[in-house]
Amino acid sequence: MATGLLTATVAISSASVSVAATPLPAGPASAPVPVIVRGAPGSLAAVDRDITEAGGRIAEQIPLITASAAEVPASALGWLGAQPGIVEVTPDGPVQLMSSSYSPTTNPGSLYSIEQSLGVDQAWQDGYTGSGVGVALIDTGITPVEGLDGAGQLVNGPDLSFDGTSPSLRYLDENGHGTFMAGIIAGRDPAAVSGHYAGDSTDFLGIAPDAHIINVKVAGANGAVDVSQVLAAIDWVVEHRCDEGFNIRVLNLSFGTDSSQSYLLDPLAYAAEVAWHQGIVVVASVGNQGGGAHRVSDPAIDPYVIAVGASQPGSRGRFSVASFSSHGNATRSPDLIAPGTSVVSLADPGSVIADQYASTGAVGTRFFRGSGTSEAAAVVSGLAALLVQEHPQATPDQIKALLTSTAAPVAGGAPAASGSGEAMASSAVQAPLPAAVQSFADSTGTGSLEAARGSLHVTLHGVVLRGEKDIFGDAVDTASLATVESYADSWWGGTWNGATWSGSYWVWSPTVVDWAYAPWTSNSWAGVPWSAVTTPSGIWTGTSWSGTSWSGTSWSGTSWSGTSWSGTSWSGTSWSGTSWSGTSWSGTSWSGDGWSSYTW
C-alpha cells in the first residue's frame, strides 16, 4: 500500500543544472519560505548542513527520500539548489490545485485518463462493469463519501482494528487510505448512468463501478496494524465469501511486510494462498522500496497471487516502471504493473491524510492525489472484477493468466521490475480465457508469525508486540491455524484463535448488510488493559469529522510506512509532502515507540 500539485513538482532550484557553486548572497536575509530539500541517497546530514548554512531552519527530516522539510530565506534558494549533492528544492507551501484548474480529460493521473489508457472504457462498452462481483478490501476502513454512498456499493464486514470498540469510528476510515483505494476500485458518482459510463468525464467512476466493496477494517487513524489482525481478516473473507449478497471473488491487499521468511512457511503468504485456492483472486502490492529492494513484500511473495508493481506515464503514451516500485529477484518478481503515480481518487474529509497532506495532495474539495503500489493494486483489483463478471466460472489462475498474457510489454523494462508489462483491460476482455493451472509448491503456513511481521510491530505504552502471539497476547500455533484455514474454518462465529474479535452473526436487508457488533471480550494485551487504549472521539457528519483529535490515539507501530501500507506519498511526482507529519510525529520517531526512520 503515495496527490500533489502539478505546481509543486517544479523544482525551485536543482543541482541537476550544471553550475559552479556560488557564494551566499550578501546583505540581510529575505523572508523564509517553506521548502522540501532533497539530496542524493545517503546524504541527509549534508542536506541539513546546507540548509543551516543557507540560514534556514529544519522542520522535519524525511529519511525515506533523503530530504528535509525546512524554511529557507528566499534569497538563498538559488545558492542552496546549486550545492553538490542537492537534487532539488521544491515548494512545501499551502498551495492547492483547485477543481477549476483540474481536468480529468487532460490530467494523466485522473481515473478517466487511466481508464482510457488501459481500455477500461472499451470493457464498459462491452458490458463489463464489475456488476455482481464482490471485492473485499482489507484496509483502514471506508467512509461513505459521495461516490461510495450508493445503495449496495459498500458492505461492512467486521472492524478488527484497534478502533473497533468505538461506536463513532467503527468501520469508518479516519486515515483516508482505505477510502482512496475503494474509490479506485469501485467508486461511482450517483449521477453516472449505467450503460453510459464510457466517455463520461463529468462523473467520478472507479475501474469496476458496478462492483460492490466488502469493507474489512484492520487499521485506524495512525495505520497501526499487526499481522495477526490481517490474518484474521483474510480468514474472515474466505469463510464469508459466499454469504448472501457477497460473492467475494477479488481480495485487495495494498499491504505488505518486509518479512524475509520463505512463502513456503510464511503464515501471511499462506492465508493469501488459501484465499486463492478457495476461488478468490488475491491482488497484492509489491511495495515501494524501488530498485534496491530485490524482494517484493509479503504476501506478494507468494507466487500464486497477483503481485502488482506501479507504473508512471512515459512519452508518447507509453508507460515505464515508477521509480519507487519494488523490484523482485530470480525467485519472485511483480507479475505486472499498473498506474500508480499521482492517481486521483476520493478524499476522506477530516482524515489524517486529508488534513496532513492537503497542501500537496488535495484536488479541489472531493479528490486527492496519491502514488504507490497501493494504487496500482487497486487498479488491478478493479480489472479483475471486470474479468470475473465476463468469466464467472473462471478460476483465479485463469484470471491471472488472462491479465499477464494480455499485458503490454514495457520498453526497456526488466522483468524483475515490470513482470509481463502494463495491465490492459481492452486486450484482456477480448482474449479467450486460457486453460491455465499454476503448479507452484504450496505453502504450509507453519512458519513464524513473528518472522511474518519482519521489522514491523505495533507498540502500546512502550510495550512491543513480538513473538508467536496475537493482539490479545494469546499464543498462535501456526501449524494448528494452518489446518483450520485450509478448511476455511478458522472463525467460529465472532471468535478467531480462541478470542472473540467481533460480532457473531449477520443482519441482512435489501439495502444494507452489517456485521452485528459485539464488544471485545479479552480485556488486556501484553499486560496492558484495553481501557488504557485511547481512540479518536469524532463523529462522521457526512462532510467532515466532528470534534476529533487524532492526538489522542495511543496505538502506534511501524506498520504504516513505505514498507507496509504500500503508498509512498500524497503528492506529485516530486515527492513533496511524503513524510508522516501526523499529530503524534516528533522528529523521526513515533512518540519514541519505534517509528524511527520510517515515513509515509
Q: DSSP secondary structure string, 448-473? A: -HHHHHTT--EEETTEE--SSB-TTS
Residue 505 has pLDDT above 50, yes or no: no
pLDDT single digits (tens) 488-499: 888 877 788 777
Task: Quote the cell numbers at residue 592.
Answer: 519514541
Distance CA 144, CA 169 (A): 13
pLDDT value of position 520: 32
Q: For cell 478457495, what's the residue? A: 278
Residues paired with 130 in a beta bridge: none
Residue 340 has pLDDT above 50, yes or no: yes
Mean pLDDT to the nearest integer, 94-117: 70
User: What are the strands of the beta sheet with 499-500, ordered from one edge?
Assistant: 491-492, 495-496, 499-500
Out of 121-125, 342-346, 542-546, pick the least confident.
542-546
Which of 215-219, 545-549, 583-587 has the highest average model confidence (pLDDT)?
Answer: 215-219
CB 575 within 8 A of CB 562: no
Instruction: Tell me the domain boundaries of the chain.
Output: 7-91, 96-590
Q: Dmax over Cα atoms in the chain, in whole Å? A: 75
User: What are the strands of the beta sheet with 458-460, ordered from one edge?
Assistant: 463-464, 458-460, 556-557
CB 207 within 8 A of CB 112: no
CB 374 within 8 A of CB 271: no
**DSSP characters over 355-409:** HHTHHHHEETTTEEEEBSHHHHHHHHHHHHHHHHHH-TT--HHHHHHHHHHTPBP
Which of 73-87, 198-212, 285-299, 537-551 has the highest average model confidence (pLDDT)?
Answer: 198-212
Distance CA 180, CA 567 (A): 11
Residue 218 has pLDDT above 80, yes or no: yes
CB 109 within 8 A of CB 145: no
Mean pLDDT to the nearest integer, 146-157: 93
Alpha helices in 406-542 (DSSP H): 415-418, 425-430, 449-453, 478-486
H/E element holding 49? Answer: helix 44-53
pLDDT value of position 232: 92
The angle formed by the CA atoms of residues 239, 533 and 227, to the nearest 5 degrees, is 35
Distance set, CA 84 to CA 16, 315, 490 (Å)? 9, 29, 57
What angle do the packed helices 177-186 and 373-390 form, to 10 degrees?
30
What is the DSSP pairing of strand 281-285 with strand 306-313? parallel
Three-state DSSP state, 495: strand
Task: Quote the cell numbers at residue 125.
Answer: 462498452
Q: What percent of the chain has pLDDT over 90?
A: 49
pLDDT value of position 565: 57
pLDDT value of position 134: 97
pLDDT value of position 401: 97
Distance CA 276, CA 274 (A): 5
Model confidence, pTM? 0.74
CB 574 within 8 A of CB 3: no
Amino acid identity for residue 345 in this structure: S
Compare 508 and 466 and report the one with higher pLDDT.
466
Mean pLDDT to the nearest integer, 344-357: 90
pLDDT value of position 278: 96
CATH architecture, domain defined by 7-91 = 2-Layer Sandwich (3.30)
Compare 73 and 513 and report the one with higher pLDDT.
73
Within 8 A by CB and 6+ apart from 491, the residues are 232, 235, 236, 239
CB 254 within 8 A of CB 237: no
Residue 524 has pLDDT above 50, yes or no: no
Mean pLDDT to the nearest integer, 163-174: 85
Exposure string of 180-215, with b = 16+ CB inside 10 Å and e = fewer, is bbbbbbbbbbeebeeeebbebeebbbbbbbbbbbbb
Exposure string of 566-578, with b = 16+ CB inside 10 Å and e = fewer, is bbbbbbbbbbbbb
Residue 383 has pLDDT above 90, yes or no: yes
Residue 521 has pLDDT above 60, yes or no: no
* pLDDT-derived band at 471, boundaries 50, 70, 90: confident
pLDDT single digits (tens) 581-600: 222 222 222 222 222 222 22
Distance CA 89, CA 77 (A): 8
pLDDT value of position 503: 43
Q: What is the chain's mean pLDDT, rounded?
A: 78
Q: How many CB atoms lie within 10 A of CB 441?
A: 9
pLDDT value of position 317: 60
Mean pLDDT to the nearest integer, 226-236: 93
H/E element holding 270? Answer: helix 267-277
**DSSP characters over 65-128:** GTEEEEEEEGGGHHHHHTSTTEEEEEE-SS--B-GGG--TTT-TTSHHHHHHHHTHHHHHHTT-
Out of 59-68, 552-561, 567-576, 590-599, pick the least confident.
590-599
Compare 558 and 388 and report the one with higher pLDDT.
388
Instruction: Tell me the Ramachandran region of residue 424: left when phi exceeds 0, alpha when psi lies from -120 to 50, beta otherwise.
Output: beta
Residue 83 has pLDDT above 80, yes or no: yes
* pLDDT-derived band at 129, boundaries 50, 70, 90: very high
Out of 85-94, 313-322, 441-450, pick the least confident.
85-94
Within 8 A by CB and 6+ apart from 332, the residues are 263, 295, 296, 300, 301, 303, 307
* pLDDT-derived band at 315, boundaries 50, 70, 90: low
pLDDT value of position 63: 57
Cα four-point dihedral sign 586, 590, 591, 594: negative
Fold of the CATH domain 96-590: Rossmann fold (3.40.50)
